[in-house]
Amino acid sequence: MATVTEKILKEHLKEGKMEAGSEIGIKIDQTLTQDATGTMAYLEFEAMGKPKVDTELSVSYVDHNMLQTDFKNADDHDYLKSVAAKYGILFSRAGNGICHQVHLERFARPGKTLLGSDSHTPTAGGVGSLAIGAGGLDVAVAMGGGTFYLTMPKIVGVRLKGKLKPWSSAKDVILELLRRLDVKGGVGKVFEYFGEGVATLSVPERATITNMGAELGATTSVFPSDEVTKKYLDDQQRGGQWAELKADSENYDEIIEMDLSAVEPMVAKPHSPGNVAPITELEGKKVNQVILGSCTNSSFRDLMIAAKMLKGKKIHPDISFSLVPGSRQVYSMIAGNGALADIISSGARILESACGPCIGMGQAPRSGGITVRTFNRNFQGRCGTKDAEAYLVSPEVAVAIALKGEFIHPAKLGAYPEIENEKPFIDDSMIMKPPKDGSSVEIIRGPNIKPLPEMKSLEEELKKEVLIKTGDNITTDHIMPAGAQILPLRSNIPAISAFVFSQIDPEFPKRAKEKGGGFIVGGDNYGQGSSREHAAIAPLYLGVKAVIAKSWARIHKSNLVNFGIVPLTFENPADYDSIEQGDVLEISDFRSAIRKGQVAVKNVTKGTSFTTKADLSGRAVDVVLEGGEINYTKR
Ligand code: MIC
Ligand code: SF4
């Protein structure tokens, strides 16, 4: 008798006890990387000296860094292609689609574990895979056959009943959960969906929900594998990979009830996916830009909703509307059935199948603009325009707004379109298979690919300044922004480090260097959002030794440990108030204090002192003392 999560974890458990809160080590069956985190992950994999990957399946996708404004991104694509051939990895070429969508369509399997160097890896939970996002280094270790360590999460059961009514969609289900729980409501938890309502949702709809579970801070989200999953895999000509997977117990740590028939169209308002309100609250507000796409909402169903709603109509003259198909599969399908023609003739701007505007690679809105997107994140500045306001909605709401020019409940525009299921277009010719023996493949390294910075073991005494003090819910987009200008530097740590905190404190990199490094002080849920380990490596390069925060987002905390930056947690959160930027903090006997789990910090400037917890597993303690995972594995 177990839940789906417990069944999968039990089958993959290598170390530890499955008790919520304690560290477990699991076997990883599949890995995925994307280009923006992949270059670093493969540099790390290379450094490990393994001849080949040791997983059932590893796939390297190119979907983020697609604007080729100079040589850098194209060089990275070639690097990734050559690494894949050398080490036995499938390579999904630029143009084949967004990693999560392609993985769901072609590779994700019920009951398997998947580790991906991208926070939206849980998308594969839509077919009952236990899919977790992690830093590149964790994925590199897993590619080498190594154990993946995580804190055993609490398992939250989300009981779905009823059926979505017209104009409400899967996006609204996850937005409703975000409304209830906010962006840290899922930290340390897996969200497992169950109940009669599950069968009413298609796999891509389930994947929209598990995808954006990342915004709850959840470890992952998962659906059971049932007849709907079987049909989906059959259609993908992968029926043989289906296995039934159902909870036979409701022994969840917590149960959330959700009546699908009561879900209304929702909107996440600026600047957080957790800032959710019903669409009715915003009706009448003028909009400048609408974009439909991203790994959350660009499935065949989502594109067809758009096509049906747009057929014979024109985009409002004050709106720029772009559409970004999630994969080459669905792009080909709408091209083949004529839907694309309806979309084009409405005045839509069609982009290539990739992350694109979701990661600020183009389509930045005008200054002070109001942009409405079907994406999963609306952090300030992420769209490329700092003073723009980004709103997150379902495809049906997005298209209604694109037609009307302002926020509107889509039901006001007519009858709900009927979408017929179509057989997917299957053509894996843009997924390159590695040769049997790749040992003679030469790795192609462009001039933008720089080696990793050197990592030193942890000092015994530390006396340094607080370089910055941040508020709550700081995202890795704040720490290490993305976008068309900065993303191409992902394989060049010295260059990218000049942009650390550039959205909130452009002087930070200069100050950190002048002061010879120091501390970061953060609030609650520090480091939420993207899995980018650059949010740890670049601060490390600038000399950051420790981050003291009230509480943590899972992936970023692991990334700090992986690169030898010590994450310390205020024992008494009120001590946060007594610290200011520029204060000199002193820690003595740092190494032994970390071993004991308690670190006393003296604020030399204020003449006060406070205690912090080094809330780390025994293995993580060894890793930070050695100055990071790479040193640790070497010794
Ligand atoms: C994102 O959505 O923020 C990204 C870009 O996909 C990131 C990965 C990255 O920063 O490269 C993520 O979600 O992990
Ligand atoms: Fe790409 Fe956006 Fe999905 Fe991240 S959230 S993987 S940037 S589409």
Q: Spot the catalytic one: 82, 168, 169, 530.
A: 530
- DSSP-derived secondary structure letter, 187: B
Helix 136-143 to helix 554-562 angle (10° resolution) is: 70
Question: What residue's CA is closest to ligand 1, atom 1?
Answer: 530
Atom of ligand 2 at shortest range from CA of 34: 6
Q: Which of 186, 196, 183 is nearest to 156 (CA)?
A: 186
Which of the following is catalytic: 120, 532, 534, 554?
532
Our answer on whether the CB atom of 118 is closer than 6 Å to any ligand 2 atom is yes
- Residue 511 annotated in active site: no
How close is the Cα of 614 to the center of ligand 1, in Å? 27
Catalytic residue among 29, 75, 118, 302: 118
Going from the Cα of 118 to the center of ligand 1, the distance in angstroms, rounded, reads: 5
Can you tell me the distance from the alpha carbon of 275 to that of 270, in angstroms, rounded to the nearest whole number? 7
Residue with CA at minimum distance from ligand 2 atom 3: 295
Cα separations in angstroms, 523 against 185, 237, 462, 537: 15, 48, 22, 20
In the sheet that 289-292 helps form, which strands lie side by side, from edge to edge? 276-278, 266-268, 389-392, 370-373, 289-292, 320-323, 349-350
Give the number of other CB atoms < 10 A from CB of residue 321. 23
pLDDT (0 to 100) of residue 437 = 97
Q: What pLDDT was estimated at residue 415?
A: 95
* Whether 118 is catalytic: yes
> Residue 39's closest CA among 532, 578, 580, 508?
532
- Does ligand 2 come within 6 angstroms of the Cβ of 358? yes
Query: Which atom of ligand 1 is closest in space to residue 532's alpha carbon?
Result: 10
Structure tokens given for 448: 């933008």
Say which CATH class 4-262 falls into.
alpha beta
CA of 352 to the centre of ligand 2 (A): 14
Q: How far apart are CA 155 and CA 10, in angstroms?
A: 14
The mean of the pLDDT values for the chain is: 97
| pLDDT at residue 634, rounded to an integer | 80
Sheet containing strand 220-222, edge to edge, reads 220-222, 189-194, 154-161, 254-259
Query: Which residue's CA is the closest to the ligand 2 atom numbered 1?
Result: 355
Sequence spans of domains, the chain: 4-262, 266-412, 462-634
Of 64, 67, 102, 210, the residue with max ligand 1 atoms within 8 A of its CB, to mutate for a pocket test, comes to: 64
Question: Active site residue: 377, 382, 478, 534, which one?
Answer: 377
Nearest CA to ligand 1 atom 6: 118
Rounded Cα distance between 381 and 565, Å, is 26
In this structure, the residue with its CA closest to atom 12 of ligand 1 is 530
Give how far the C-alpha of residue 308 lies from the chain's centroid of Cα atoms, to the nearest Å: 30
Task: Rounding to the nearest 10 degrees, give the CA dihedral for residues 338, 339, 344, 350.
Answer: -110
- State both tokens at 23: 């560290």
CA distance linking residue 279 with residue 169, whole number of Å: 13
**CA–CA dist 193, 112 (Å, integer):** 17
Task: Tell me if 379 sits within 8 A of 529, measured CB to CB.
Answer: yes
Ligand 2 contact, 117 CB (< 6 A): no
**Cis preceding-peptide flag for 271 (omega within 30 of 0):** yes
Smallest-distance ligand from the CA of 534? 1
Q: Do domains 4-262 and 266-412 have the same CATH topology?
A: yes
- The torsion angles phi and psi of 71, rounded to 5 degrees, stand at -70, -20
Q: What is the pLDDT of residue 379?
A: 98
* Contacts with 59 (C-beta within 8 Å, 6 or more apart), sequence order: 30, 31, 32, 33, 89, 90, 91, 92, 99, 103, 107, 431
Alpha-carbon distance 42 to 88, whole Å? 12
The response to whether residue 382 sits with its C-beta less than 6 Å from ligand 2 reads: no
Task: Please tell me if the CB atom of residue 359 comes closer than 6 angstroms to any atom of ligand 2.
Answer: yes
Q: Ligand 1, closest atom to CA 64?
A: 5
Decide: 351 in ligand 2 pocket, CB within 6 A: no
pTM above 0.95, yes or no: yes
633 pLDDT higher than 90: no
Neighbours of 244 (CB within 10 A): 13
Closest CA to 58 of 124, 144, 137, 118: 144
Q: Supply the pLDDT for residue 397.
A: 98
State the residue for tokens 């002061």. 515
Strands (E) across 260-312 are located at: 266-268, 276-278, 289-292
CB 349 within 8 A of CB 322: yes
Q: How far is the CA of 353 from the centre of ligand 2 (A)?
A: 12
Compute the distance from residue 585 Cα to the ligand 2 centre, in Å: 38
Active site (annotated) includes residue 349 = no
CATH topology of domain 462-634: Aconitase; domain 4 (3.20.19)
Residue 64 known to be catalytic: yes
- The whole-number pLDDT of residue 635 equals 79
63 is catalytic: yes
pLDDT for 106-163, tens place per residue?
Answer: 999 999 999 999 999 999 999 999 999 999 999 999 999 999 999 999 999 999 999 9
The closest ligand to the CA of 101 turns out to be: 2
- Name the CATH superfamily, with its identifier, for domain 266-412: Aconitase, domain 3 (3.30.499.10)
**What would you report as the CA-atom Rg of the chain, rounded to the nearest whole angstrom?**
23
Terminal C-alpha separation, the chain: 42
Q: Going along 499-574, which residue ranges are E strands?
A: 518-521, 544-549, 566-570
The DSSP line for 312-372 is T----TT-EEEE--SBHHHHHHHHHTSHHHHHHHTTPEE--SSSGGGGTSS-PPPTT-EEE
pLDDT tens-digit readout, 83-121: 999 999 999 999 999 999 999 999 999 999 999 999 999
Hey, which of 66, 67, 115, 119 would you mutate to test ligand 1's pocket, going by the most ligand atoms within 8 Å of its Cβ?
119
Region of poorest pLDDT, from 184-193, 452-461, 543-552, 608-617: 452-461
Active-site hit among 63, 138, 477, 575: 63
Cα 359 to averaged position of ligand 2 atoms, centre (Å): 6
Nearest ligand for residue 117 CA: 1
Residue nearest to atom 10 of ligand 1 (CA): 532
Whole-number Å distance between alpha carbons of 354 and 378: 18
Query: What integer is the mean pLDDT of 75-86?
Result: 98
Strand partners of residue 91: 60, 432
> CB neighbours (10 Å) of residue 22?
11
> How many CA atoms does the CB half-sphere of 594 hold within 13 Å?
28
Reply yes or no on whether 532 is catalytic.
yes
pLDDT at 454: 86
Please pick, among 12, 60, 64, 554, the residue that the annotation labels catalytic: 64
Rounded Cα gap, residues 518 and 573, in angstroms: 20
Which ligand does the CA of 351 lie closest to?
2
**Residues framing ligand 1 (Cβ under 6 A):** 36-37, 64, 118-120, 133, 359, 482, 530-532
Nearest of 585, 608, 578 to residue 465 by alpha carbon: 585
Burial class (CB in 10 A: 0-12, 13-18, 19+), 21: exposed
